[in-house]
């Protein structure tokens, strides 16, 4: 007790001295700057012009329609829960898949684009002209995000125009390329070709490593989805026609079995998705998505 009393006295005296001297630590949390939401970032990366409200509205309507259809086919209200939940999660998964595909195609295009920029600069063309050449005749994956780049360069300059490209793609690799190109534009000289060549080599290595990881994880993801979906497809087929299966699952016991199975299945899918997801590289050069 003596030790506790001594410690309490010491803490009290320290806080009293800090308060009198104006050094009392603030208990308020400093508000962190919030970037765009994760759904906004996914829509941006996927190249979809819908708003988050539109996506959520279509998702809810689709879930209700699918649930009603399954209910009408089987006559069992509990059977409509899992298909409805899947439809609720499907747009998010499709958006993420489309965003990953689009971002990956842009990443794979950057080494060739940087090689094209480096060759143009070595031949004596300014960096701004080399970047415009990429937007017009470069890899197809980059022509969409870089469309109208020449007009933006003439209006606001090279650096803001390139930053607009980075904001359109929403990819950390593109952020890095844009920052390096802006630095090369500011420094000029022979550093441009050296920096562009090193960047193209590093991005090419990253793309190759990402492809190997995706190939190794593809089989596990397909097996997990098949294991989840197959029992429910079989159950819908069995209960779609009159018989003992439809009679059992129409009763309270069947509803309990369906509910427990749905909970276990959804937890399993969530765990598999979480464990198999490759962490996204943070956009340290741009605002982060708010969770």
**pLDDT tens column, 51-109:** 888 888 888 888 889 888 888 887 887 777 777 877 887 787 788 888 888 888 888 89
- The answer to whether residue 28 is domain-embedded is no
- The answer to whether residue 10 is domain-embedded is no
- The answer to whether residue 171 is domain-embedded is yes
- The answer to whether residue 4 is domain-embedded is no
The C-alpha atoms of residue 101 and residue 107 are separated, in whole angstroms, by: 10
- The answer to whether residue 282 is domain-embedded is no
Maximum Cα–Cα distance across the chain: 82
Q: What is the pLDDT of residue 288?
A: 47
Burial of 147 (0-12, 13-18, 19+ CB in 10 A): middle
Q: Are the C-beta atoms of 232 and 257 separated by less than 8 Å?
A: no
Question: Residue 178: which of 201, 195, 154 has the closest Cα?
Answer: 195
Q: Record the tokens describing residue 31, joined without a space.
A: 């508000």
DSSP class of residue 199 equals H
Q: Which residues lie across from 37 on neighbouring strands?
A: 290
Q: Are the C-beta atoms of 175 and 166 separated by less than 8 Å?
A: yes
- The answer to whether residue 9 is domain-embedded is no
- Across the chain, mean pLDDT equals 78
Question: Residue 42: which of 2, 101, 1 has the closest Cα?
Answer: 101
The C-alpha atoms of residue 192 and residue 190 are separated, in whole angstroms, by: 5
Going residue by residue through the chain (291 aa), what tens digit of pLDDT does each one get?
444 444 444 444 444 444 444 444 444 444 444 556 677 777 777 777 788 888 888 888 888 898 888 888 878 877 777 778 778 877 877 888 888 888 888 888 999 999 899 888 888 888 889 999 999 999 999 998 898 999 999 999 999 999 989 888 888 888 989 988 888 888 776 677 788 888 888 888 888 887 787 777 777 777 777 778 788 888 878 887 888 888 888 888 888 888 888 888 878 877 877 777 777 677 776 644 444
The C-alpha atoms of residue 41 and residue 168 are separated, in whole angstroms, by: 10
Residue tagged 């497809």 (tokens): 233
- The answer to whether residue 33 is domain-embedded is no
The number of distinct structural domains making up the chain is: 1
Neighbours of 98 (CB within 10 A): 16
Q: What is the pLDDT of residue 151?
A: 92
The C-alpha atoms of residue 39 and residue 62 are separated, in whole angstroms, by: 18
Residues 6+ apart with CB under 8 A from 138: 109, 112, 113, 116, 146
- The answer to whether residue 141 is domain-embedded is yes
Could you tell me the CA-to-CA distances from 25 to 9, 12, 18, 238 in Å, in that order?
Answer: 18, 14, 8, 66
Question: Residue 95: which of 135, 44, 142 has the closest Cα?
Answer: 44
Q: Record the tokens describing residue 179, joined without a space.
A: 């920052």
Q: What is the pLDDT of residue 51?
A: 84
Q: Which domain holds residue 168?
A: 39-276
């Amino acid at each position: 007790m003596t030790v506790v009393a001594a410690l309490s006295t010491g803490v009290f005296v320290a806080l009293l001295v800090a308060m009198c001297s104006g050094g009392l630590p603030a208990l308020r949390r400093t508000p962190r700057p919030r970037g765009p939401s994760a759904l906004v970032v996914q829509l941006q990366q996927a190249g979809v012009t819908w708003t988050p409200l539109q996506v959520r509205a279509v998702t809810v309507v689709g879930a209700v329609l699918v649930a009603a259809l399954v209910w009408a086919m089987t006559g069992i209200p509990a059977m409509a829960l899992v298909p409805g939940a899947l439809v609720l999660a499907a747009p998010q998964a499709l958006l993420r898949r489309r965003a990953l595909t689009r971002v990956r195609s842009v990443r794979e295009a950057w080494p060739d684009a940087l090689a094209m920029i480096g060759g143009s600069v070595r031949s004596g063309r300014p960096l701004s002209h080399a970047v415009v050449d990429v937007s017009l005749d470069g890899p197809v994956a980059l022509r969409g995000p870089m469309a109208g780049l020449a007009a933006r360069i003439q209006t606001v300059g090279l650096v803001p125009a390139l930053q607009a490209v980075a904001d359109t793609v929403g990819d950390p690799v593109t952020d890095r390329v844009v920052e390096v190109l802006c630095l090369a534009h500011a420094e000029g000289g022979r550093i441009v070709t050296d920096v562009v060549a090193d960047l193209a080599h590093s991005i090419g290595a990253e793309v190759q490593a990402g492809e190997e990881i995706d190939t190794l994880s593809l089989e596990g993801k397909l097996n997990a989805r098949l294991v989840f979906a197959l029992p429910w497809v079989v159950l819908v087929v069995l209960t779609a026609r009159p018989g003992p299966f439809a009679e059992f699952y129409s009763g309270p016991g069947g509803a309990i079995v369906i509910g427990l199975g749905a909970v276990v299945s959804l937890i399993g899918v969530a765990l598999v998705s979480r464990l198999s997801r490759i962490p996204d590289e943070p956009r340290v050069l741009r605002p982060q998505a708010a969770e």
